[in-house]
């Protein structure tokens, strides 16, 4: 997978997390590549892409992180991963994807997005046939959020 | 009371949420994300605005507008929503009431749709993530015009 697809997501994730987590210390971890199945941390928002490029982006975190991030974004302590908390994580995925896609469109790639869907559960994994997944961990005070991008040019 | 005299300046500003006649401006929020709807509602309510209804899609928003009309001052309209998107809902609201005051709420990257909405009669727009200051500024601008 070409790295130019992932950079916009990393930049967007960094910018948006910095903004919604109120200037907290957000750091980018080391990028790594997975070609086989990847475990999912517990709460994953997925956005699909279809067009000149196709694939999907996962925003993956554990439950505690999801709850902590949703709590900061709502300005109140949320106790459970309820509809509001899930809508908050969905909106986070929306904001990051929208910003990344703007950059990709500027680079000349045309494609559509699906609305984000949220998966929650234990011991989940994601497999991408024929597409490598590039993963960028973002470290926040609320915990680790992995941006997991599997995109390819349409054959 | 003495303390009131000691701290006059900050608290004497009139909140923006009230009409010149003293009644609160009435706002309809149309957004499919409960998070965004809640955020908007909190920001507006904190400034005195009266959020009279929240709709989760364009069709519900249009129905709510017709029901509340003419006792409604402002609509915040999300763009990407199920059933009926915000652009279509805007079009139908303007068709129903050409003086409707609608502010579009958009994610980044929807400039074309935002432009289209402004041409169609939306009064202003706000790009997410929502910032309290930005929201209140835009809303007050639209209501003062």
What are the pLDDT digits (tens) for A13-32? 999 999 889 878 999 999 88
pLDDT of A75 reads 87
Q: Give a yes or no: residue B14 inside a domain.
A: no
If phi over 0 gives left and psi between -120 and 50 gives alpha, with beta otherwise, what is residue B83? left
Please spell the DSSP secondary structure of A20-50, one letter per residue.
Answer: HTTS---EE---EEE-S-EEE-SEEEEEEEE
List the CATH number of the domain containing A41.
3.40.1550.10
Residue B6 has pLDDT above 60, yes or no: no
DSSP bridge pairs for A151:
A55
Please spell the DSSP secondary structure of A53-82, one letter per residue.
Answer: EEEEEEEEE-HHHHHHHHHHHHTS---S--
Q: Give a yes or no: residue B121 inside a domain.
A: yes
Total domains in chain A come to 1
DSSP bridge pairs for A58:
A46, A148
Query: Could you tell me the residue range of the domain that residue A106 belongs to?
Result: 3-153
Q: Give a yes or no: residue B44 inside a domain.
A: yes
Total domains in chain B come to 1
Q: Give a yes or no: residue B5 inside a domain.
A: no
Query: Could you tell me the residue range of the domain that residue B130 belongs to?
Result: 23-144
Q: Give a yes or no: residue B6 inside a domain.
A: no
Residue A153 has pLDDT above 90, yes or no: no
List the CATH number of the domain containing B86.
3.40.50.2300
For chain A, the average pLDDT equals 89
Confidence of residue B14 (pLDDT cuts 50, 70, 90): confident
ipTM of the complex: 0.73
Q: Give a yes or no: residue B65 inside a domain.
A: yes
Query: Which of A87, A107, A115 has the highest number of chain B CBs within 10 A, making it the mutation to test binding with B?
Result: A87
Range 49-88 of A in CB contact (< 8 A) with B: 73-75, 83-84, 87-88
Q: Give a yes or no: residue B97 inside a domain.
A: yes
- Taking the Cβ of residue B46 and every Cβ of chain A, the question of whether any pair is shorter than 8 Å is answered with no
CB burial string A108-135: b at 16+ within 10 A, e below: ebebebeebebeeeeeeebebeebebbb
């Amino acid at each position: 997978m070409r790295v130019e697809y992932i950079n916009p997501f990393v930049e967007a994730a960094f910018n948006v997390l910095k903004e919604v987590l109120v200037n907290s210390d957000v750091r980018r971890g080391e990028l790594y590549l997975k070609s086989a199945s990847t475990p999912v941390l517990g709460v994953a928002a997925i956005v699909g892409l279809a067009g000149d490029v196709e694939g999907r982006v996962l925003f993956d975190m554990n439950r505690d992180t999801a709850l902590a991030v949703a709590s900061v974004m709502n300005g109140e302590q949320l106790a459970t991963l309820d509809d509001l908390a899930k809508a908050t994580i969905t909106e986070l995925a929306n904001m990051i994807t929208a910003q990344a896609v703007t950059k990709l469109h500027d680079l000349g790639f045309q494609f559509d997005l699906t609305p984000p869907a949220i998966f929650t559960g234990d011991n989940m994994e994601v497999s991408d046939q024929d597409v490598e997944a590039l993963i960028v961990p973002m470290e926040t005070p609320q915990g680790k959020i992995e941006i997991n991008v599997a995109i390819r040019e349409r054959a | 009371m003495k303390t009131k005299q000691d701290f006059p300046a900050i608290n004497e500003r009139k909140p923006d949420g009230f009409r010149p006649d003293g009644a609160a401006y009435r706002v309809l929020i149309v957004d499919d994300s409960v998070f965004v709807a809640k955020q908007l509602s909190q920001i507006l309510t904190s400034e005195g605005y009266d959020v009279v209804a929240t709709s989760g899609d364009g069709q519900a928003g249009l129905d709510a507008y017709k029901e509340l009309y003419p006792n409604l001052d402002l609509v915040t309209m999300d763009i990407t929503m199920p059933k009926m998107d915000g652009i279509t809902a805007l079009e139908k609201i303007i068709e129903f009431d050409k003086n409707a005051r609608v502010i579009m709420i958009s994610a980044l990257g929807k400039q074309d749709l935002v432009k289209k909405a402004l041409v169609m009669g939306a009064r202003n727009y706000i790009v997410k993530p929502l910032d309290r200051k930005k929201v209140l500024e835009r809303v007050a601008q639209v209501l003062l015009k």
